[in-house]
Amino acid sequence: MRTHFKIPRGMLDEIRADLSRPHSFAYERVGFVTCKVGKFDGEGWIILAANYHPVEDEDYVKDESVGAMIGSAAIRKMMQRAYDEPYSVVHVHMHEHSGRPSPSATDAREMAKLIPNFWNVRRNFPHAAVILSFDSMSGTVWDPSSKSRFAIDDFTVVGAPMQFIRTEHG
């Protein structure tokens, strides 16, 4: 399966700026991107970032064990958005370094709990979690037909200039 995530440069800049803002008690911020999707021949998804939705300050909850714990209100708002309009939901957060980020054990565990919830409102769509760094990104997609998760292969930052982040397949 091949998955390609595309995001306009302006939106990506806005997300990085938003996620860099300190929060009164959460160690890090997170956000969501609602996306339109298309299919590749055979298997695979093209996920196209449409709108960014920061998680509001009051929607974080105190939890010492993880950096950013968001409450059910934040998740409910996103589920409503994907219910109202056919959207794929992509969770975003940022690791404060350059180069390709990789998920921590906590990231992997929390996302495996969170992301499949969006199938309750949009069951034929892929949903995903993307980790940004200062200059790169990586991600995981939950595929609706196999109900499995896969690494996102390709990322394109759409703007002038373009940025292509590709996973090489031998």
Give the binding site for other proteins (CB under 8 A): 6, 8, 10, 34-41, 46, 48, 50-51, 86, 124-125, 156, 158-162, 164, 166, 168
Q: How far is the CB of 93 from other proteins (least distance, A)?
A: 22
Residue 54 has what DSSP assignment? E
Task: Please state whether beta strands 30-39 and 2-8 pair in parallel, antiparallel, or not at all (unpaired).
Answer: unpaired
CB closer to other proteins out of 27 and 40: 40
- CA separation, residue 80 to residues 20, 40, 42, 76, 114 (Å): 26, 27, 30, 6, 15
Residue 7 has what DSSP assignment? E
Residues across the chain: 170
Q: How far is the CB of 101 from other proteins (least distance, A)?
A: 19
d(CA 15, CA 52): 7
Q: How far is the CB of 127 from other proteins (least distance, A)?
A: 13
CB closer to other proteins out of 20 and 51: 51
CB closer to other proteins out of 17 and 160: 160
Q: How far is the CB of 67 from other proteins (least distance, A)?
A: 29
SS3 content of the chain, % helix, strand, coil (to 5): 25, 40, 35
- Interacting residues of 7 by C-beta distance below 8 A, sequence separation 6+: 33, 49, 155, 156, 157, 158
